[in-house]
Amino acid sequence: MKAFRAACDHPGKARLVVPQGTFAVSQVMFSGPCAGPGPMVVQISGTVMAVSDVSMYPSPEWLIFTDIDGLVILGGGTVNGQGEKIWKYNDCADNSNCARLSSSIVLQNVTNGSIRRITSLNPMGFHFFVTDSKKIRLQRLNIKAPADSPNTDGVHISDSDEVSVSRSVISTGDDCVGILQGSTRIQINKVHCGPGHGISIGSLGKHADEDDVRGVQVKNCTIRDTTNGIRIKTFPYKPEIVPIKASGLLFEDILMEDVRNPIIIDQEYCGRGHSCVNAPSKIELSDIHFYNIRGSTLTPEAISIKCSSAVPCNNVYLSDINLTGINGPTTGLCVNANINTAGVQIPPVHC
């Protein structure tokens, strides 16, 4: 921590180096602003290991970078959350008010940041969490956790603008990438996802103070052996929730291999451990494009578009969709949506 403070306060170019070797640390907050003219560089060449005592984490973060304009994290090293020793304390499957476990690397209120060539193993919670940040690039990440590890999102994004995730391999127990409320101008490109829960927008409509989601592009990705492919999920209506909108969503050039539920819009999502009223969602979904989505599925229903009867989905486009079943023909479901189709359409979808 002293080394980071000295580097951050240095008026010239600065670099903090974690050398070869293994270093055990509990929660650490790297706080700016920094004094130098260029980015603050954190080079991780060795392995940073989390202390596996949950009492050492007063908040659900492990390595926190906050209030920094200009940050580069690189080096080819590893952060190991030792989640396999902690996951037994995760009760979110049965408790909607569960305490979230610590994310491995958190960017909070960071501008002009990048993380590249870092391996993340077995986080307690999320691998990478980007929140309240702008102009963030995550590149060439190697993200690994078992398929049954709970709530281990690969990259979790909320309340952030201009975030990109590219050229990364994500194998985990939850969403490979989760794009939450307040996310705008998000780009996911050349990501290999699986196992895991696929690439998701949402869930939306869970909390009272959410903001719109706009301008999400997911392109040139491979999704393999996941429980879902590409998914948009919103909670049913809650009286305390101010409705938001999600619009300008593009999914293009995506290969599915042995995926369950390749294309999903689910406005009846409740989530395990939650108690939901039987009322249609008020989250407005519009301008959603699925282009050149192809591959194989393990479930007969390859496309499931279940929109809200209160605010039906508007301008949903499906073009050149070719999803074949491993165990037989595939089907498509669509309710409460204004859809447009073009080109190949396997399976056919009608609303």
Backbone angles phi, psi at 88, to 5 degrees: -65, -20
Q: Alpha-carbon distance 253 to 187, whole Å?
A: 14
Catalytic site includes residue 197: yes
* Active-site choice (10, 127, 197, 289): 197
Who contacts 15 (Cβ-Cβ below 8 Å, separation ≥6)? 7, 41, 42, 43
Q: What is the largest CA-CA distance in the chain?
A: 65
How far is CA 146 from each of CA 101, 151, 152, 215, rounded to the nearest angstrom? 16, 11, 9, 31
Q: How far apart are the first and last CA of the chain?
A: 58
Cis peptide before 312 (omega within 30 of 0): no
On whether the CB atoms of residues 204 and 235 are closer than 8 A, the answer is yes
Catalytically annotated residues: 197
